[in-house]
Amino acid sequence: MTIQKKEFAWRSPMKPLDLKKVTAIAIHHMEHLTAGMDEIHQWHLARDNGTWKGFGYNFWVDFAGNVFECRGFNQGAGVTSMNSTVISIGFQGHYDKTKEMPAAQFWSGCELIRYLRDAVPSINFVAGHRHWENKSCPGKYFPLEEMIKMADAIGKIKDYDDIANWAKESVMNLVDMGIMIGDDQGRFNPQAPITRQEIAVVINRLLQKIKS
């Protein structure tokens, strides 16, 4: 995963987070079908009589799976009264209306959650915005539970970054189903050759899944 830096014209300087106090990640959607970062930045500059610094989210994931650092590890504005302890990820789209998230956006979201949990070890909780406030965000069709589950699975594979991008979705789906599980050191060994007996085990696991 590549994280791009998004530069904004902030109304006032950012306040760095005390990362030791950050304990959670909040997931958001935009409640707009297509709005991008620049448009949202203008909306946020106008929020609460112009008291916001601008774009409220720490990180952003667009439909194409591009990941951007926005406020980054500075205090965000995504969750009222919780922004000193919560990092907010904004996702492009309206997931109360759009029923299916693009695969690229989903997998980038999984990887970003995993990255943040590794970068900030005090994070022990990931939830939708609605956990903290009376909102539908990130939307009833947002694949929140699946994303959190897959982010956790990614964290268990030590050589995840060695897996080719075109293969990551397939690999993780097979790992999640228990069909291919890697070695006892937590490595998938994506470039290693496979033996006939290993193929037999994989096929047998697949057949058992089909039967069940």
DSSP reduced 3-state for 122 = coil
Q: For residue 36, how many other CB atoms are within 10 A of its CB? A: 13
164 near 188, Cβ under 8 Å? Answer: no
pLDDT value at position 183?
Answer: 85
Delimit the CATH 3.40.80.10 region(s) of the chain. Answer: 3-155
Angle at 4 between CA 169 and CA 120, to 5 degrees: 75
Maximum distance among all Cα pairs of the chain, rounded to whole angstroms: 67
Higher-pLDDT residue of 137 and 185 is 137
pLDDT value at position 158?
Answer: 85
Over the stretch 86-121, which tens digit does the pLDDT of each residue have?
A: 999 999 999 999 999 999 999 999 999 999 999 999
Residue 148's H or E segment, with its range, is helix 144-155
Mean pLDDT of 74-91: 96
For residue 155, is pLDDT > 90?
Answer: no
For residue 156, is pLDDT > 90?
Answer: no
DSSP reduced 3-state for 91 = strand
pTM of the model: 0.88
User: Backbone phi, then psi, for 43, in 5-degree steps?
Assistant: -60, -45
Mean pLDDT of 40-69: 94
35 near 64, Cβ under 8 Å? Answer: no
| Mean pLDDT for the chain overall | 93
Residue with tokens 């969750």: 79
Q: For residue 78, how many other CB atoms are within 10 A of its CB? A: 22
Half-sphere exposure of 18 (CA within 13 A, CB side): 5
d(C-alpha 131, C-alpha 142), whole Å: 14
Give me the architecture of the 3-155 domain, per CATH.
3-Layer(aba) Sandwich (3.40)
DSSP reduced 3-state for 3 = strand
Nearest one of 124, 116, 114 to 161, comparing CA atoms: 114
1 near 89, Cβ under 8 Å? Answer: no
Residue 61's H or E segment, with its range, is strand 59-61
61 near 106, Cβ under 8 Å? Answer: no
Reading the block at residue 206, the tokens are 């697949």
Over the stretch 7-51, which tens digit does the pLDDT of each residue have?
A: 999 999 999 999 999 999 999 999 999 999 999 999 999 987 888
